[in-house]
Structure 1
């Protein structure tokens, strides 16, 4: 697992608060569940993973940088990303904290695919190691977390209509149109992994 060193972009806070709907509670349920299953391992500065849903053409709500998932919704654990200024490499957002270090990943996918409304990103060494056995596509090259290069490598597989894939030596990405369906997609692959590991024990 890469050592977390914070965000790798500039950040500007538009407002400490943001509007949201029922989907934030749904996202929080998924975020907490993944942490309990070990799909977003918790560390001293947060959790390895980030989750989001689209709010409009170019905006999305995402877990904050350094978030430790909670069972009950804490709104301050999330941010509403409003804009990306490519010239200054600045994400502009609403919320109490900077958004996830993987904002490039979420921004690039939402910009390229208007039909995608949900992005779930987590980390599982066992999924990485068993990707080929589970017929999960993996990006060709490794890139550091929180970089445009990592985001662009994800786009390559998304353009091949892959909805669940592995970022090489990094973590998994699930994309979809609905929170529940995308969350279930992750759990489906997690279930396949458990079955594979059980069979290896016999």
Structure 2
């Protein structure tokens, strides 16, 4: 699987209000803890030698008002994020390829894919998107759910493909995006479910490779 897509470029129509937001304490703590773990695993972050030096990976959590909070675009280099590094997605329209958000930073380029997952399954509360070459390269061997290589990241087609996959396989806990280099998304009702799925897939890919 190969792709030359530039990482971190927002492709959807963004309607963003530049104003402060406040994350619920429980969501903020969960996102902070798991982001720290994923940083240590090097599946999110920023590296001059990976993806043309752009930041990669993002995390989100659904609010009780059915909006969701997501790490801001190009915040990968920051070791610990504060509230100003998050955006709140108020509304997303997949058919119109548009997002309405607020916050002191703009939402991640993958926000539309996150929205598609939340819309497809109301039980999902947390979504983690990382870049893991080990999982990505072993997706077929491990029989993981995949989005075809012809579907580019951050596009309406990606959001529609994610929606279709979740409707066909509602119990799946993650997706590998063949058309988004090293792209892996895991999710669950809790941050632990989303995070442990990622870790389990990574462990499985390393065992298979060995």
Q: TM-score of the superposition, structure 1-length normalised?
A: 0.86
Match of 1:81 in 2: 89
Residues 1:6 and 2:9 are matched in the alignment: yes
Query: Does the aligned pair in 1 maintain the 2:147–2:179 contact within 8 Å?
Result: no
Q: Distance in 1 between matches of 2:127 and 2:40?
A: 19
Match of 1:147 in 2: 155
Deviations 1:98-121 (A, max 9, x none): 101111101111122111111111
Match of 1:195 in 2: 207
Q: Distance in 2 between matches of 1:141 and 1:89?
A: 20
Question: Does the C-alpha gap of structure 1 residues 155 and 88 become closer, same or farther in structure 2, counting only changes over 3 Å?
Answer: closer
Q: Give me the CA root mean square deviation.
A: 2.3
* Equivalent residue in structure 2 for 1:172, among 166, 176, 184: 184
Equivalences for residues 53-132 of structure 1 within 5 A: 53-56=61-64, 58-68=66-76, 70-84=78-92, 89-132=97-140
Q: TM-score of the superposition, structure 2-length normalised?
A: 0.83
Q: Distance in 2 between matches of 1:88 and 1:150?
A: 13
* Equivalent residue in structure 2 for 1:186, among 198, 204, 208: 198
Query: Does the aligned pair in 1 maintain the 2:8–2:109 contact within 8 Å?
Result: no
Please, which moves more after superposition, 75-84 or 86-95?
A: 86-95
Structure 2 gaps, min length 5: none
Runs of 4+ off more than 3 Å: 43-46, 69-73, 85-90
Query: Does the aligned pair in 1 maintain the 2:8–2:108 contact within 8 Å?
Result: no
Structure 1 gaps, min length 5: none
Question: Does the C-alpha gap of structure 1 residues 84 and 165 become closer, same or farther in structure 2, counting only changes over 3 Å?
Answer: closer
Q: Structure 1 residue 187: deviation in Å?
A: 0.8
Residue 91 of structure 1 aligns to a residue whose secondary structure is strand
Q: Structure 1 residue 147: deviation in Å?
A: 0.5
Deviations 1:124-159 (A, max 9, x none): 222111112223122234322211111221223222
Q: Distance in 2 between matches of 1:98 and 1:195?
A: 38
Q: Distance in 1 between matches of 2:8 and 2:61?
A: 24
